[in-house]
């Protein structure tokens, strides 16, 4: 009996050790305040994306070029000290994607962009990459055929213009070929207009007015507006 118990205990210990090493039963690591701070700081690199954009999409279909128009909206989202950026394509009816979330992994030191395809039945697609030389470049690999898809996004003309390029690399080898592109200007932009005030929450260009204690401030998106209204004293202290 003693030998059986000892054997079972040893076996259980081995199984427990293997489970712990594999991470199967381990909870996700809770981000520290520094992680959240560094994540938000990294996302502020693409602060110019925030806002509503009037874009025109184009793609080659045989010898012809097809074109369509979409309003694409980027905005901040805040919850429990965390911050990330959301995107909506044509109010959820975009040609290629409906919506998505852009986050920053402090552990990987990578931007993670999760997009929901417009095609019914397709699973969410996660791209990852870096922001360099004014552009966010993220990629994903199709596990079935090895094709690599790349999204490159950046702003131009002091943040008034937006450009998106979607490319594909067959089998993960060779040159990338164009799938489609989207280009356009920020909604409400007028040539020669004075520079917009700064968002009191995120620091970007702002055009939505909010008030507190009789004073007017500005935010860049509905996410920052909600965050400001929840804790106005936090953001107006010393101002």
Check residue 21 and give its pLDDT. 40
DSSP class of 28: P
Q: What is the mean pLDDT of the segment spanning 214-226?
A: 95
**Cβ contact 30:82 at 8 Å:** no
Q: What confidence category does residue 133 fall into, taking pLDDT thresholds of 50, 70 and 90?
A: very high
Q: The pTM is what?
A: 0.83
Check residue 49 and give its pLDDT. 97
**For residues 3 and 42, what is the distance between their CA atoms, to the nearest angstrom?**
57
Q: Cα 192 vs. chain centroid, distance in angstroms?
A: 30
Check residue 141 and give its pLDDT. 97
**For residues 64 and 67, what is the distance between their CA atoms, to the nearest angstrom?**
10
The residues near 153 (Cβ < 8 Å, ≥ 6 apart) are 46, 49, 135, 136, 162, 163, 164, 165
List beta partners, residue 99. 88, 116
pLDDT tens string 76-87:
999 999 999 999
Place of tokens 């620091």: 203
Check residue 196 and give its pLDDT. 76
Neighbours of 123 (CB within 10 A): 7
Residue 41 predicted with pLDDT over 60 = yes
Check residue 2 and give its pLDDT. 43
Please state, for a pLDDT cut of 70, what percent of the chain lies above it: 86
Q: Where are the domains of the chain?
A: 33-186, 194-239
Check residue 30 and give its pLDDT. 80
- Domain 33-186, what architecture? Beta Barrel (2.40)
Check residue 191 and give its pLDDT. 55
β strands within 80-224, DSSP E: 82-89, 97-105, 110-117, 125-132, 135-141, 148-156, 161-169, 177-186, 208-212, 215-219
Instruction: Note the residue count of the chain.
Output: 239
pLDDT tens string 187-209:
987 655 667 789 999 988 888 99
Check residue 205 and give its pLDDT. 85
Residue 170 predicted with pLDDT over 90 = yes
Residue 129 predicted with pLDDT over 90 = yes
Mean pLDDT across the chain, nearest whole number?
Answer: 88
Q: What confidence category does residue 31 fall into, taking pLDDT thresholds of 50, 70 and 90?
A: confident
3-state secondary structure of 189: coil
Q: What is the mean pLDDT of the segment spanning 133-154?
A: 97
Check residue 238 and give its pLDDT. 81
């Amino acid at each position: 009996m003693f030998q059986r118990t000892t054997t079972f205990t040893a076996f259980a210990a081995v199984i427990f050790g293997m489970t712990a090493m594999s991470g199967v039963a381990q909870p996700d690591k809770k981000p520290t305040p520094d992680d959240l701070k560094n994540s938000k700081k990294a996302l502020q690199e693409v602060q110019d994306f925030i806002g509503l954009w009037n874009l025109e999409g184009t793609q080659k279909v045989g010898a012809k070029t097809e074109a369509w128009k979409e309003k694409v909206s980027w905005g901040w989202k805040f919850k429990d000290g965390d911050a990330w950026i959301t995107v909506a394509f044509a109010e959820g009816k975009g040609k290629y994607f409906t919506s998505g979330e852009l986050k920053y992994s402090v552990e990987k030191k990578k931007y993670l962009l999760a997009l929901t395809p417009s095609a019914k039945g397709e699973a969410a697609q996660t791209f990852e990459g870096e922001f360099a030389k004014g552009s966010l470049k993220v990629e994903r690999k199709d596990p079935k055929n090895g094709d690599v898809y790349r999204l490159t996004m950046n702003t131009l003309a002091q943040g008034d213009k937006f450009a998106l390029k979607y490319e594909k690399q067959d089998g993960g080898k060779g040159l990338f070929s164009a799938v489609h592109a989207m280009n356009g200007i920020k909604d409400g932009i007028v040539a020669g207009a004075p520079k917009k005030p700064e968002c009191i929450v995120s620091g970007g260009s702002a055009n939505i007015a909010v008030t507190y204690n009789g004073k007017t401030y500005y935010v860049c998106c509905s996410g920052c507006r909600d965050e400001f209204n929840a804790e106005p004293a936090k953001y107006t202290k010393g101002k």
